[in-house]
């Protein structure tokens, strides 16, 4: 398996479309390169919620790619996913909320 090159975001797609519509010189130079890809930010499947929260706040595209023990990507975490966990009323969610309060 090869290396992960990056992720293509919605905003990047808009940039490509605008550059294409304008037929700019920059588009001609970059149209077939990896320059439009955003870097990937990884977390491990076993990372604590507080670490995941810190990582997503620093991630350039606010997406985290989750790796299994064998370094294969097994999921993607978005801010909506974290919000869903914080809004859940379970004992596990209460523990997570306590972790988040310690960060403040």
- The overall pTM is greater than 0.85: no
Rounded alpha-carbon distances, angstroms, from residue 1 to 21, 48, 72: 35, 28, 10
pLDDT, average across residues 64-68: 95
Alpha-carbon distance of 96 to 101, in angstroms, equals: 9
Contact 84, 92 (CB under 8 A): no
Q: In CATH, what number does 39-104 get? A: 3.10.580.10
Alpha-carbon distance of 28 to 41, in angstroms, equals: 28
Residues of the chain within CATH 3.10.580.10 domain(s) are 39-104
Provide the pLDDT for residue 29: 60
Q: pLDDT tens digits for 14-45?
A: 877 777 777 766 556 655 566 778 888 999 99
Alpha-carbon distance of 50 to 72, in angstroms, equals: 22
Instruction: Label each residue of 15-36 as H, E or C.
Output: HHHHHHHHCCHHHHHHCCCHHH
Alpha-carbon distance of 6 to 35, in angstroms, equals: 9
């Amino acid at each position: 398996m090869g290396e992960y090159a990056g992720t293509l975001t919605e905003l990047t797609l808009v940039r490509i479309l605008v550059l294409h519509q304008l037929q700019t010189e920059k588009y001609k130079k970059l149209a077939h390169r990896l320059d439009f890809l955003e870097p990937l930010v990884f977390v491990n499947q076993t990372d604590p919620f507080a670490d995941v929260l810190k990582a997503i706040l620093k991630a350039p595209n606010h997406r985290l790619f989750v790796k299994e023990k064998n370094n294969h990507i097994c999921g993607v975490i978005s801010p909506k996913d974290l919000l869903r966990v914080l809004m859940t009323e379970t004992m596990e969610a209460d523990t997570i909320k306590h972790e988040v309060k310690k960060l403040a």
